Amino acid sequence: MKAIIEAKYLAAENAPVYRRILRFFYLQHERMRDFIPPAEVLEYLRKDGGYPGLEEEQLHAHLEQLTKWNNLARRQDMTSARTIEEFKKKRYSYQCTPMTVELERMILELERRGDEVRGSLEKSQFDRLLQAVQTLEGGIGGKLPEPDEVNLLYEEVIDHFRKIRTNTADYIAYINREQAGERMQPEAFLAYKNQFTAYLRDFVISLQRASLQLKLLLHELDIVRMAPLFDRLIEYRLSVPRLDDAPPPVEEWRRNYEEYWTSLRGWFLGFGGSQSELELLEWQTNEMIRRVARHVQRLGERQQHFRSRKKEYLKLAEWFAGFDALDEAHRLSGAVFGPMTIRHLRLLEGTTDDIHAEVWEEEPEYIEIQPRTNRYREKTRPGAVTSKKKEKALQMKAYLEEREKERALIDRYVDAGRIRLSETGTVEPFIRKVLLGWISKSAGAKDRTVVTDYGYLVKVTLHRDRRITLRSGDGDLVMPDATFEFTEGRPN
């Protein structure tokens, strides 16, 4: 990469006068005036530019230097020449170059922004991006639109994505500045903390609502799927007339499209299993909410520390004095100060080995209460070790019978060695829990195959493009359709 010679005027020895000259040319350019004579520039610098003693020769030297740095373009002004001598002097008019226009525009924007709030966490940003990606995906799924229409769809997606990246990064950087933390300290911050917290919370809700659909769409729209669209974009760029004879860099255009789309997908999906920028944005926003809550809590504690509660206790004493019954005073004391004595309730862990057992299905546990004295000793008597082989056998038989009932219940839904959720109808809560457990276990396997508790080898296929309602006696669950294929130990 070569040096940008057009930016030299910003750090040169005569930078103040160079900047004043080019700022004047930029303002005239914005007013649709192109070529300006040196006399007009000199008049401006002497009257309004802060250089009343500037000589004409000095101005010509500055203009010549700026022309060498490609900040100004000049043309010979022949309209004012009245004699041959004046024509030979080559009087020029000057115009700022496109690079200088962009530099001055950028500098003006930086000066204007200063310390003002930059960026935002607008909650509709992700919804607009989702709608744009859905429209783009719809165009790819059917007959591709014309190149100019494809270019509009693609530019809309990129524009929304660029705004999300820029606005969120700027706003989070603004909030994390030291000055912003100092502004949260005064008690005046309590006045608008609810508005600020609601603003952040609404953004997180919108992000979570749209991000899942965006991830699913972008996961499908990989480089291979987007290749026909890139061809259309290149076709559009080739249709734009150009005056140069150089061959268009088609491969470079294609590479730029692929790299930018890969970056967009990585922002939402992550790269190589790493945390995505979307997840980091959600964490940072939640962290800002927690940060505000901590500030509010500390400010509230500070106010409570310096506030006298004498009036509150006097009012409380009046309430106690007005009661006729002791029970009423006890209830008020419990509400204000909490219970004086606490009862601790506990149960032994591991009361059953059944992972599908519910708490309310277990037998209650009885605990023998012993006297609270150091002299108490539990009576013991010597005895023989009794065999509980019969009880164990009965428990094992009951357990196996229960498992066999569960297996038979699952087999009822198997058709031709598979279960399809969309064809099961209404299922028992137990069946729903077992099937969801298989889906969860298959997510960690590369081939989506799991070994069940009943000895089956099941391959799980999740159909994300089809949504179904799994109905059960205790409620309905909306989820993607799934197919369970029994490859080994298949039920008859």
Q: Can you tell me which residue has the tokens 């159909």?
A: 463
Overall number of domains in the chain: 3
User: Which domain-ending residue is among 55, 79, 113?
Assistant: 113
Q: Is residue 38 part of a domain?
A: yes
The DSSP H or E segment spanning 13 is none
Residues spanned by the domain of 69: 5-113
- pLDDT tens track for 216-245: 888 888 888 888 889 989 988 888 887 777
d(CA 16, CA 61): 15
Are both 133 and 208 inside the same structural domain? yes
User: Which domain-ending residue is among 82, 113, 144?
Assistant: 113
The whole-number pLDDT of residue 80 equals 58
Are both 143 and 288 inside the same structural domain? yes
Q: What is the mean pLDDT of residues 378-388?
A: 73
Q: What is the mean pLDDT of residues 351-371?
A: 71
Q: Is residue 218 part of a domain?
A: yes
Are both 176 and 70 inside the same structural domain? no
Q: Are 413 and 458 in contact (CB under 8 A)?
A: no
Q: How many CB atoms lie within 10 A of CB 279?
A: 14
The confidence band for 72, taking pLDDT boundaries of 50, 70 and 90, is: very high
The confidence band for 17, taking pLDDT boundaries of 50, 70 and 90, is: very high
With a CB cutoff of 8 Å and minimum separation 6, the contacts of 192 are none
The whole-number pLDDT of residue 305 equals 62
Are both 132 and 280 inside the same structural domain? yes
Are both 81 and 195 inside the same structural domain? no
Q: Is residue 168 part of a domain?
A: yes
Q: Is residue 390 part of a domain?
A: no
User: Which domain-ending residue is among 276, 293, 310?
Assistant: 293
Are both 131 and 33 inside the same structural domain? no
Are both 42 and 149 inside the same structural domain? no
d(CA 304, CA 298): 10
Are both 53 and 150 inside the same structural domain? no
Are both 10 and 129 inside the same structural domain? no
Q: Are 67 and 74 in contact (CB under 8 A)?
A: yes
Q: Are 69 and 9 in contact (CB under 8 A)?
A: yes
In 3D space, the residue among 75, 106, 69, 81 whose CA is nearest the CA of residue 93 turns out to be: 75
Q: Can you tell me which residue has the tokens 């972008």?
A: 218
**Taking the complete model, does pTM exceed 0.75, yes or no?**
no
d(CA 419, CA 415): 6
Residue 471 token pair: 């109905």
Are both 29 and 136 inside the same structural domain? no
Q: Is residue 94 part of a domain?
A: yes
Q: Is residue 318 part of a domain?
A: no
- Is residue 488 pLDDT above 90, yes or no? no
The confidence band for 185, taking pLDDT boundaries of 50, 70 and 90, is: low
Q: Are 133 and 141 in contact (CB under 8 A)?
A: no
The confidence band for 359, taking pLDDT boundaries of 50, 70 and 90, is: low
Are both 104 and 138 inside the same structural domain? no
CATH number of the domain at 79, please.
Answer: 1.10.10.10
Q: Is residue 313 part of a domain?
A: no
Q: Is residue 176 part of a domain?
A: yes
- pLDDT tens track for 295-340: 777 776 776 666 667 888 899 999 999 999 998 998 898 888 887 7
The whole-number pLDDT of residue 94 equals 92
Are both 78 and 197 inside the same structural domain? no
